[in-house]
Amino acid sequence: MGPNPSSQFLLPFQSICRQCRQRPARLPPASFLQHKPRQQRKSFSTTPSYPDALSTYVDAEASAATARDSLIITAAPPLDLDSQFSVPPNRPARIIPASPSYFTASPQFNDDVLLLRSLLREYESLPTVSVDQVPYSSWLKLATYRSKLGEPVSSSRYGKVLQLLARLNQIHPKLQTTKLQEVLDRFRRPGAVGIQKPPPGKLDAQGRAYGMGRRKESSAAVHLVEGNGEVLVNGKSVLQAFPRLHDRESALWALKVTGRMDKYNVFALTSGGGITGQAESITLALGRALIVHEPALKPTLRKAGCMTFDARRVERKKAGKLKARKSRPWIPR
Amino acid sequence: MSLSICTGCLARLCITQRAPSIPSRTFSTTNPQAGSPTSRKIKSTKAPYRSSLTFNRSRRPRVVPKLPMIGERKALRKRIVISNTNALEVQGLQDLNVKNMVDETQIGQMLALNEELLDHLRDVRAFKPTQNWNMFRKPSTLMRRESVELGRAILDVSAGRAEERPRTVRRIIAGERGTGKSLMLLQAMSMAFLNDWVVINVPEGQEYTIAHSAYAPMSINSERQLSPDQTAQTASKQSQGSQEMIYSQPTLTAELLQRISKSNENVLKRIPLAHEYKFGDYEPKNLYSLAVVGVEETSLSWKVWQTLWEELTSPSERRRPPVLVAIDGIDHWMTLSKYRSADYKPIHAHQLAPIRHFVEVLFNQNGAGQLANGGIVLAATTGSNAPSVPAFELLMKQLDARTRGLKMGDDGFPMPQPYKTVDQRVLNLLEGSAELNVQGLKGLEKDVEARGLLEYFARSGVFREVVSERTVAEKWSLAGGGVIGELARFGSRLRV
């Protein structure tokens, strides 16, 4: 709604409209309505900001020329120490903290967040590698990080930090600057390099690949050999083990998506939990066994969901609740 | 002077006269003139004197859903539709005939059942409601390796009959659920009908043991039905442990005779009786009219059945066709039935006369299994509705071991556990049943049979995927190694 020219005359400020029974808002000044470009915030940087090198050089030359013209060397005026108003020239009127997050509750943590964000802003355009080719890295655990800083850090906020770290780590290793690597190294868990990653599986002497998987309360161990598509689950046919087609499909999903159903024989042992859980634990175990035979299938299997561990479990019941979250109905007294 | 109205309201003020809004009605298909205003009762808003002012739920008329008629739901459940005009017609589909039923090149092909055969099979109750016949234009069956082998056996017995050296084949078809046991019986019956055999079918063994039909005691020696006085005498004798009581099942026997007479009408009408019989006022002339006596007079049915069996299987100068006996769900016949004796003790299934008869024929007990004109006795176990019968399971293992060449007393021959009581009636069947063997049905062969079946599904329009090596392999594995009942499920529903 545009400003009505007669609006100033209509209603004295503070009186109430008869129609809508509301106090009219004061119109903002016209200058406010004009579009103003938003000021770019200066990015935070840990490196001291030096004046531009080229301009410094030019300035130095010019000043040298003037100096040569009027080479009059004069001493500095003596300090007036007696005067009570005298202030050293480089001292500001009030002390400005070095870090912008000095006044926050956890300044070091905030500094880290700002640092990582500025790095990400700086290197956002650099090419990245795909998720499965990212160099493996284990970041500091929350407890370690807390004790290192000595500040309270919530796990959700540290999660944000981990997200930033993961994104920065995804930048192509050859294009990562030393500055970036130094910062990332500060967040790496010491001594964790090369421990976390399990060694790739091997076929045993009989040509069997082994994989294990878990889902809900079930666990499964799969032995996979080259064959013609026969499947045994706990010594029974897959039909007897999983009467529902959906369960059979999810158990053999890894072979189905890769079109390897008639290339391997599956021998699975599964226990615990229910039928769906057992079928889906076989999914994971079969996927892991299959990449031992054919490591190149890993990206396909990951997309098909045969590589990802599902850590969800049944939520526990809480005291005062009927189930995990269900509360008793409200009864009027 | 200032108006007491704000800018927003002023902007919204409409100076021009707006047309009066027409009350619009939402779209509805109901007739607005449905009830005339005069006929409508005007309800007084005042509550009647001394009545409850609260909303009483129990006063409202109870809405009782209209239940279907008696037997309607069962009829719907048991209905068998064997063709579907919406299904695509498969081009080049051959009919099953005497020649191609033994042709090895037909393995993996679907063969259709012709109209005449369908009538016979319907009359003999060869179709089951769970077999997906309603998904296809023309009922047809897959020729498996086992089917061709069965066809050969049928031709072999027919040839033996021609050469005056009758042969009897006895076989139990076993396998897990959905492996095509009942369909193998259906194929056997089709082939037998094509060769003008007499087909005797027991479509559901459970019907004889669940105590849903009439039964009456009779003595073992005469196997005649007794009068009530005699019944009491024999019952007391049995309680002394002197003799085992046998019970007849007249209704079920009459139904059996009806199936036989209806489906084998043409064959039976051609066969005159070897002896003269008189059942009350009935004087049958041929086997067909003999069977009809049992259908019409239920009380005579057991005697008629015995006569008919005698006529069919005893050696005679006149040519008699070979007999096919097909029994489905034999597991239910190997345990206690749901019938009770006069002492209210459970009756064993082998004490029921029809069951006793067929079991003796199948296991060749007391020489009952000798078919003078040759024939095949086929029995199939049930996979989906199997009762837990440890004795029969053991018997099957023993038969299986014997088929593999082991003998009783050999190492590895399955024996009952020493400290467990096992039904000896069942275990005793092993003796004398030398010719009986067990045919274990498994899944289809992948490359020929499973592919042929899926191609037929695709050509009928119920399987909407490309039938390639990959899809066949996938479905074969998902169906537990080509179990035909599971493969058929891929064709029985649309997966989006």
**B6–A24: do the CB atoms touch at under 8 Å?**
yes
User: Does residue A256 have a pLDDT over 90?
Assistant: yes
- Spell out the residues 6+ positions from residue B137 whose beta carbon is closer than 8 angstroms to its own: B83, B84, B85, B87, B88, B89, B90, B460
This prediction has a pTM of: 0.70
Which residues in chain B have their CB less than 8 angstroms from residue A267's CB?
none
Give the Å distances, CA to CA, from B385 to A61, B204, B224. 103, 11, 33
Instruction: Check if A178 contacts B (Cβ < 8 Å).
Output: no
**pLDDT score at A94:** 82
pLDDT above 90 as % of chain A? 60
In order of B471, B483, B493, the CA distances from B476 in angstroms are 8, 8, 17
- Choose the mutation target among B7, B13, B470 for the interface with A, i.e. most A CBs under 10 Å: B7
Task: Round to whole Å and give the CA distance between B251 and B258.
Answer: 10
Greatest mean pLDDT among A87-101, A249-263, B11-25 lies in A249-263
pLDDT averaged over chain A?
83
ipTM over 0.85: no
Q: Who contacts B180 (Cβ-Cβ below 8 Å, separation ≥6)?
A: B144, B441, B484, B485
Contact A4 B479 (CB under 8 A): no
B132 vs A314: CA distance, rounded Å: 40
Gap between the Cα atoms of B62 and B64, Å rounded? 6
Per-residue pLDDT, averaged over A152-161, amounts to: 94
Dihedral in degrees, nearest 10, Cα atoms B462, B465, B467, B472 = -90
Domain parsing of chain A, residue ranges: 107-187, 209-303
Give the chain B residue whose CA is nearest to the CA of A27. Answer: B7
Instruction: Report the C-alpha dihedral over residues A310, A314, A319, A325, rounded to 10 degrees.
Output: 90
pLDDT at B166: 81
Query: From the CA of B146, how many Å to the nearest CA of chain A?
Result: 21
For an interface test with B, give the residue of A17, A246, A282 to mutate (most B CBs within 10 A): A17
Residue A198: pLDDT above 90?
A: no
Q: Which chain B residue lies closest to A263 (C-alpha atoms)?
A: B473
Q: What is the mean pLDDT of residues A31-41?
A: 51
CA distance B138 to B241: 56
The pLDDT value recorded for residue A87 is 60
Can you give the pLDDT at residue B13?
Answer: 67
- Distance between A248 CA and the closest CA of chain B, angstroms: 6
Lowest mean pLDDT among A197-206, A275-284, B438-447: A197-206
Q: Could you tell me which of B449, B460, B464 has the C-alpha nearest to residue B138?
A: B460
What would the pLDDT profile of B318-334 be if each residue is shown by its tens digit?
778 999 999 999 999 99
- Which pLDDT belongs to residue B180? 95
Contacts of A209 (CB under 8 A, 6+ apart): A201, A203, A223, A224, A225, A289, A290, A292, A293
Strand partners, A171: A128
> Which of the following CATH numbers is that of domain A209-303: 2.60.120.650, 3.30.230.10, 3.40.50.970, 3.20.20.70?
3.30.230.10
Q: What is the length of chain B?
A: 496
pLDDT score, position B145: 95
Give the whole-angstrom CA distance, residue A211 versus residue A221.
Answer: 6
Distance of residue A110 Cα from the nearest chain B Cα, in angstroms = 46
Would the pLDDT of A76 be above 90?
A: no
- Tokens at B175, concatenated: 């396998």
A22 touches chain B (CB under 8 A): yes
pLDDT for position B16: 54
Rounded CA gap, B48 and A49, in Å?
A: 92
To the nearest whole Å, the CA of B357 is away from the closest chain A CA by 34
Place of tokens 């161990």: A221
Residue B75: other Cβ atoms inside 10 A: 11
Tens of pLDDT, residues B33-69: 555 555 555 566 676 777 666 666 666 777 888 899 9
What does the pLDDT read at residue A6?
A: 45
Helices (DSSP H) in B72-211: which residue ranges? 72-78, 115-123, 145-162, 181-194
Binary contact (B481, A230; C-beta < 8 A): yes
Cα atoms in the Cβ-side hemisphere of radius 13 Å centred on B434: 4
B8 contacts A20? CB cut-off 8 A: yes
pLDDT in tens, chain B (496 residues): 455 777 777 767 655 555 555 555 566 655 555 555 555 555 666 767 776 666 666 667 778 888 999 999 999 998 999 998 988 999 999 999 999 999 999 999 999 999 999 999 999 999 999 888 988 999 999 999 999 999 999 999 998 877 777 889 999 999 999 999 999 999 999 999 999 999 999 999 999 999 999 999 986 554 444 444 554 444 444 444 446 899 999 999 999 999 999 999 999 999 999 889 999 889 999 999 999 999 999 999 999 999 999 999 988 777 789 999 999 999 999 999 999 999 999 999 999 999 999 999 999 988 787 888 899 999 999 999 999 999 999 999 999 999 888 888 888 899 999 999 999 999 999 988 888 989 999 999 999 999 999 999 999 988 888 999 999 999 999 999 999 999 998 877 655 4
B323-328 and B375-380 beta bridge pairing: parallel
Residue among A239, A246, A264, A282 with most chain B CBs within 10 A, to mutate: A239
Instruction: State mean pLDDT over A218-224.
Output: 97
What letter does residue B47 receive in the DSSP assignment? P
What residues of B are in the A interface, CB distance below 8 Å? 2-11, 176-178, 446, 469-470, 473-474, 476-481, 483, 486, 489
Q: Which residue has the higher pLDDT, A47 or A237?
A: A237
- Both tokens assigned to B376: 């095949």
The long-range contacts involving B295-299, CB below 8 angstroms and separated by at least 24 positions, are B295/B254, B295/B257, B295/B258, B295/B261, B298/B250, B298/B251, B298/B254, B299/B225, B299/B250
Question: Is the CB of A10 less than 8 angstroms away from the CB of B3?
Answer: yes
A4, A15, A18 ranked by CB distance to B11: nearest: A4
Beta carbons of B185 and B179 less than 8 angstroms apart: no
Q: What percent of chain A has pLDDT over 70?
A: 75
Q: Of the candidates B10, B476, B478, which has its C-beta nearest A249's C-beta?
A: B478
